[in-house]
Chain A
Amino acid sequence: MPWLTVAVVVPLIAAALCAALPARASRLPHVVALGATAVSAIALVATVVRFDTAEGMQLVEQARWIPSIDVAWRLGVDGMALVLALLTVVLSAAAIGYGVGPRPMTRAAAGLLLLLEGSTLAFFLAEDFILFYVAFDVSLVAMYFLIALWGEERRRYAALKFFLYTLIGSLPILLGIIALFLSSDPQTFDMTRLATEHPVAGGGLGATLVFLAFFVGFAIKIPIVPFHTWLPAAHVEAPTAGSVLLAGVLLKMGTYGLVRVNLQMLPDAFATYALPIALLGLVSVLYGALVALAQTDLKRMIAYTSVNHMGYVVIAVAAAAASGISSRARELAVDGAVLQMVAHGLVTATLFFLAGFIKDRAKTRDLGKLGGLLRPMPVYGSLVALTFFASLGLPGLAQFPAELLIFLGTFDVYPAIAAVAVLGIVITAALFLLALQRAFMGTTPKGLRKLADLGARELVAVVPLVGLFVALGLYPRLALDLIRSVSWLAGGG
């Protein structure tokens, strides 16, 4: 059974099916969407069972697609692709379960969520560069419509900005892909081959341009300061499930690309520019934390902490690029970076859910107007507290081992940068504690005293995510055993 193909194709087929459903069966789109996601999840679990952690790229499924330009349907997994695909399917299930727009979910909403799920899975599993690019852009279109159709007041503006920025990022990636294709011999879009053969070697002008084309594209997606300005708008205006997938999955596409393409395919050029990129990552860490500190809107605050958390990933990847091929620091840094992607995905997705819940009830997310929420909503309050602690990197929760590995890896290469980056953790700790204090402690304003605590639908969406990040925090080897960058980092299969 081609499990990876099943995982990718079933949501896409279900998306098409949603368009064809009769209008009368109002609950059917939701059921179809959940069913398709369950199939994807089963297919990925089957992949985990067959996965060999000692191997690199494996379980490759190939089919002819456009052979005259060597475009093929190539899917495969290594540690990084596998955990990110799992993350995608978990968060998609949560988002679809929670729903977007009017309830019961419309055909369009279910179809777009499925399209987004299928395309992001295809992106992480793709081993063909054109498929990779196609998936990147299709996910962009799906997210555009999700924001523009069901977002908040300024959704049009935010959706357009998101589309524009990501397209600006994706087109240089296309040029980079073509450049890699033309310089490989025989010409190929096979990512496994490009990662082992390094057709654009060295750090000359050509390699630099190709490297920069990819870097700019992924930097916008991650986002790295100064390419981040689309992020607060998109996150704040997106519907809750949209923000969840945007922060939880779509940002990871950037860091995934940074590792998969820049680090694996262009190691020489990356080594040349590792220091400036690590510094950009450091700027993201500090700037994201400081700006988040200044926010009063809960969603905006979380959005900026994403800039901060993804900054650690960038630093780690840059440190890995600067260190030699087989150094221990390199593996630590990359393991940490991938774990951070997963941990941040789970934690931030939960945060966006929680921010959405309070907006639904109190009609505001302004920290200044909220207060004493712990009293009327004890379950909600404790979940928020737990997730805030996870996000600030408290030991025992998922982001702690990730950030620890990142710092361990980075100290070897850039001790100064690592030392300054720790400041970011201090600032985020302060801002989360401050937010907790403002919104949950103290006296409850009159209007908020009668707020209902979380309902079943909401708990179903967040509790599994919370469970996962607690589990990862207590036993990080759950993910680290799968990730094992040592087996795939050098490329090949």
Chain B
Amino acid sequence: MPNGGTLEQAKSIEEMMLRELAWLWPIGALTLGAIVAVLLTMVLPRHRQGLIGAWAAGAHVTAAVLAVAVWLDRGVRAIMEQTVIVDGLSLTMTALIGISGALCIALARPALAGTEREGEFYAMLTFASLSAVMLVMAADAALLGLAIGALGLSTFVMTGYLRRSTRSNEASIKYYIFGTVSGAFMLYGLSWWFGLAGTTNLRLIGEQLQSAPQGYVIASTALVIFGLGYKAALVPFHFWTPDAYDGAPVSVAAYMSVLPKLAGLAALARVLTLALPEDTAGWATAIAVLAALTMTVGNVAALAQRNVVRLLAYSSIAQSGYLLMGVAAINGSDQGLAALVYYAMAYAAMNLGAFAVVAAVQRERRSVDIDAFKGLGRTHPWWTVVLVLSFLSLLGLPPLAGFVGKLELFKASIDAGQSWLAVVAVVNTVISLYYYLRVISPAVLDAPAEAEPGVPRTWVVRPTPIAVVLGLTAVATVAFGLAAEPLLRLAEKATMLSG
């Protein structure tokens, strides 16, 4: 509704918006969670700040539950004058963000307990999740820009959490500068869209862009992809990733490798289908090329890593490439989006599992070098089980989650007429075997390092929060593969509203 309506119209719109608040419950839960967390930070003494973690995790889980409730109770709908889309895709992603966010908090808690500003960290993390949810729901260029900015700001603070570590500071600054620049480019691209279409509504932009000059459309679209591609760590916008992951606490690396990335990819899928329906400007092929580049660069760079966090950083870049296959296939195959959503869920489970093991190892052995994993099978059988399961799943071996995910992605790619991309992905899978095995093999095959021959094998996993994350992710990694049916059905239903 442009400016200049009557008072009656304004009133009716206001009434409508009030009624539509029900669809915003998940966002409300996270907002409330973040604000109360900030207040609690000021009130609670330092040794009680862990409670804020519990509160924030609760807010995340509540958001996930509410997302389900909204879907079942209210159904899907474009609300707030078509700026916010609450549909299968955004609700599924919201639930995923809620659960993964809570797991990341559990992962962070043992490492952060008793440190300065522990409470602020949880508040920031909740703000980040809130922005991620906004990002997947945004159907308006302005909201999209806002969500990207807020997400960047809050994750930037999380990356720099270890204030006394120069590496953490460097990581955070790098991430911030890269993030600001790419955010600015994206806003610039969005402003072109606004100029070409005369509206910020992405669906209306989509209608207008079809008749706009091709050159402008291509240039502005490239800028928008830049901004979202940076969030999803796509090549060539990935340079910040290994440094940021490595400098940040492991739990933050886990968070960044899952939530902003998946939100960015879901947003990319939505923005491209809304603003460029009918493959305007040939974006499907462009995204496919980007996918091929991303997986190849990520996998090849991962080969040389000895630091397991950096290795997982490059691995997560490669995984973005696989996920992008789903985005590239959206136009050509009706399985593209479902494959993307399914792989997103599988990826969240297996990648969080991998990071949980790294966090546990780093906590005990004070190192994330490959050598720190030596003999893990002897000293920590359960960690090793999770490590092997998540890494083999990331590799895509059956019957684990990653296999079904790749199966769906390959199917979508071939169905969309991009068989070459499936072949590239196959070659990449073979490359990735080397570095995944490079971590598995010392853990399973080697004897423990000389320093701890006396350490008895222990089947008990401590600390408890990490044990919970390890258990849940391992079960999910296996169950999403062996019992993929419910999840595949969910992924099929997680469709987009077209405005």
Contacts and interface: CB of A to CB of B under 8 A. Distances in A.
B441 A179 contact: no
Interface string B340-367: 0000000000000000000000000000
A149 B444 contact: yes
A11 to B, nearest CB: 15
Contacts of A301: none
Given A137-B397, A148-B441, A178-B407, A68 B485 contact: yes
B410 interface: yes
B484 interface: yes
Interface stretch (A33-41, A88-96, A167-175, A342-350): A167-175
B430 A175 contact: no
Interface in A159-201: 160, 163-164, 167-168, 171-172, 174-175, 178-179, 181-182
Interface in B426-463: 426, 429-430, 433-434, 437, 441, 444-445
B346 to A, nearest CB: 13
A164 B398 contact: no
A175 B488 contact: no
A481 B429 CA distance: 43
B278 interface: no
A182 B437 CA distance: 32
Given A66-B485, A174-B407, A137 B426 contact: no
Given A172-B426, A174-B426, A68 B410 contact: no
B499 interface: no
Given A174-B426, A178-B410, A134 B398 contact: yes
B321 to A, nearest CB: 16
Please classify the interface of chain B as helix (H, G, I), strand (E, B), loop, or mixed, using the class held by over half of its residues.
helix
Contacts of B434: 160, 164
B437 A68 contact: no
Contacts of A164: 430, 433-434
B398 A175 contact: no
Contacts of A156: 441, 445
A175 B423 contact: yes
Contact of B410 (A137, A160, A168, A175): A175
Interface in A39-96: 65-69
A133 B398 contact: yes
B488 A68 contact: yes
Contacts of B404: 66
Contact of B484 (A66, A174, A178): A66
A111 B101 CA distance: 36
B485 A179 contact: no
A393 B231 CA distance: 65
A6 interface: no
Contact of B437 (A66, A137, A160, A178): A160
Contact of B433 (A134, A167, A172): A167
A277 to B, nearest CB: 22
Contacts of B444: 145, 148-149
Contacts of B437: 160, 163
A65 B485 contact: yes
A130 interface: yes
Contacts of B441: 148, 156, 160
A179 B444 CA distance: 36
B399 A134 contact: yes
B430 A69 contact: no
Contacts of A280: none
A175 B427 CA distance: 12
Given A133-B398, A137-B398, A149 B430 contact: no
Given A134-B399, A145-B444, A175-B414, A68 B433 contact: no
A141 B399 contact: no
B492 interface: yes
Interface in A406-426: none
A141 B430 CA distance: 14
B392 interface: yes
A138 interface: yes
Contacts of B411: 69, 178, 181-182
A144 B411 CA distance: 28
B415 A138 contact: no
Interface in B376-426: 392, 397-399, 403-404, 407-408, 410-411, 414-415, 419, 422-423, 426
| Residue among A67, A145, A175 with the highest chain B CB neighbour number at 10 A | A175
A24 to B, nearest CB: 13
Contacts of B488: 66, 68-69
Interface in A200-245: none
Contacts of A167: 429-430, 433
B47 interface: no
A219 to B, nearest CB: 16
A273 B410 CA distance: 27
A149 B445 contact: yes
Given A168-B430, A172-B426, A182-B415, A68 B445 contact: no
Contacts of B392: 141
A118 to B, nearest CB: 12
B163 interface: no
B117 interface: no
A69 B339 CA distance: 12
B19 interface: no
B489 interface: yes
A67 B411 CA distance: 16
B426 A171 contact: yes
Contacts of B484: 66
A74 to B, nearest CB: 15
B433 A141 contact: no
B430 A182 contact: no
Contacts of A141: 392, 397
A176 to B, nearest CB: 11
A174 B485 contact: no
A53 B403 CA distance: 37
Nearest to B482: A65
A171 B427 CA distance: 8
Contacts of B403: 134, 137
Contacts of A137: 397-398, 403
Contacts of A68: 485, 488-489, 492
Contacts of B415: 182
A163 B397 CA distance: 12
Interface in A107-135: 130, 133-134
Interface of A: 65-69, 130, 133-134, 137-138, 141, 145, 148-149, 156, 160, 163-164, 167-168, 171-172, 174-175, 178-179, 181-182
22 contacts: A66-B484, A66-B488, A68-B488, A69-B407, A69-B411, A130-B407, A134-B398, A134-B403, A148-B445, A149-B445, A156-B445, A160-B437, A167-B429, A167-B433, A168-B430, A175-B414, A178-B410, A178-B411, A178-B414, A178-B422, A179-B414, A182-B411
8 closest A-B pairs by beta carbon, nearest first, are A134-B398, A171-B426, A66-B485, A68-B488, A134-B399, A137-B398, A66-B484, A178-B411
Interface of B: 392, 397-399, 403-404, 407-408, 410-411, 414-415, 419, 422-423, 426, 429-430, 433-434, 437, 441, 444-445, 484-485, 488-489, 492
Given A68-B488, A133-B398, A171-B426, 20 more contacts: A66-B484, A68-B492, A69-B407, A137-B398, A141-B397, A148-B445, A149-B444, A160-B434, A160-B437, A160-B441, A163-B437, A164-B430, A167-B429, A167-B433, A171-B430, A175-B414, A178-B410, A178-B411, A178-B414, A179-B414
